[in-house]
Amino acid sequence: MLRPLYQFQIFNLGENLKREVDIELEVHTHNDFGMATANAIVGVAAGADYVSNASSLDIYPHKAVVGGKIFSHESGIHVDGVIKNPSNYEAFSPEEVGLKRYLVIGKHSGAHAIHHKFEELGIDLVEEDCEKILTEIRKIVVETKVPPSDDELIKIAERLR
């Protein structure tokens, strides 16, 4: 009778395969015993490449652990907390699963988020600029229902400064 592989067995198997054979390693897990996420994380830690690359299927953006938007923050209090200490709102770092943190600038953003986002874009703003830009962004987002791209943010700042 076959027994399911436990996480340490998956890790050891994946690590040994990657060491012995120079090929892409894929892991396909199911949710038997409610362990699919744990098995997938262990597979990736052992060196597996995400199955979405091989299948050309996109991962749902809000999929737990690996969705591209799970490390997106817009709310002023969330952004402030993440800037001060990411563990305030993130149980693990986005880099652990091959993702990046992204600050969404929208109608729920605060001045701290505006300042930080523009720092990321290489633009230093004073508090007064942040408030003017935030007011304009909120108007735009309410009208369009879409957060501005980085290029649009830069254009807004250039127009208002």
For residue 23, the enclosing domain spans 1-57
Q: Are residues 17 and 76 in the same domain?
A: no
Q: Are residues 72 and 53 in the same domain?
A: no
Q: Are residues 78 and 53 in the same domain?
A: no
Position with higher pLDDT, 80 vs 18:
80
Give the whole-number percent of the chain exceeding pLDDT 70.
93
Q: Are residues 33 and 90 in the same domain?
A: no
What does the pLDDT look like over 38-92, one tens digit per residue? 777 777 777 776 766 666 778 888 888 888 899 999 998 989 999 999 999 999 9
**What is the number of structural domains in the chain?**
2
pLDDT grade for 3, boundaries at 50, 70 and 90: low
Q: What is the pLDDT of residue 135?
A: 95
DSSP 11-52: HHHHHHHHHH--S--------GGG-HHHHHHHHHHTTPPPHH
**39, 57, 75 - which closes a domain:** 57
Q: Are residues 130 and 158 in the same domain?
A: yes
pLDDT grade for 142, boundaries at 50, 70 and 90: very high
Three-point CA angle 80, 73, 122, nearest 5°: 70
User: What is the rounded CA–CA span in Å between residue 160 and residue 87?
Assistant: 34
Least trusted range by pLDDT, from 1-10, 21-30, 104-113, 135-144: 1-10
Q: Does a structural domain hold residue 62?
A: no
Q: Are residues 80 and 159 in the same domain?
A: yes
Q: What is the pLDDT of residue 53?
A: 67
- 41 close to 92: Cβ distance less than 8 angstroms: no
Q: What is the pLDDT of residue 1?
A: 44
Token pair 């001045």 is found at 111
User: What is the rounded CA–CA span in Å between residue 53 and residue 49?
Assistant: 7
Q: Are residues 96 and 130 in the same domain?
A: yes
Position with higher pLDDT, 141 vs 49:
141
**20, 38, 57 - which closes a domain:** 57
Q: Are residues 26 and 88 in the same domain?
A: no
> The tokens of 150 are what?
């980085």
Q: Are residues 53 and 73 in the same domain?
A: no
Q: Are residues 45 and 104 in the same domain?
A: no
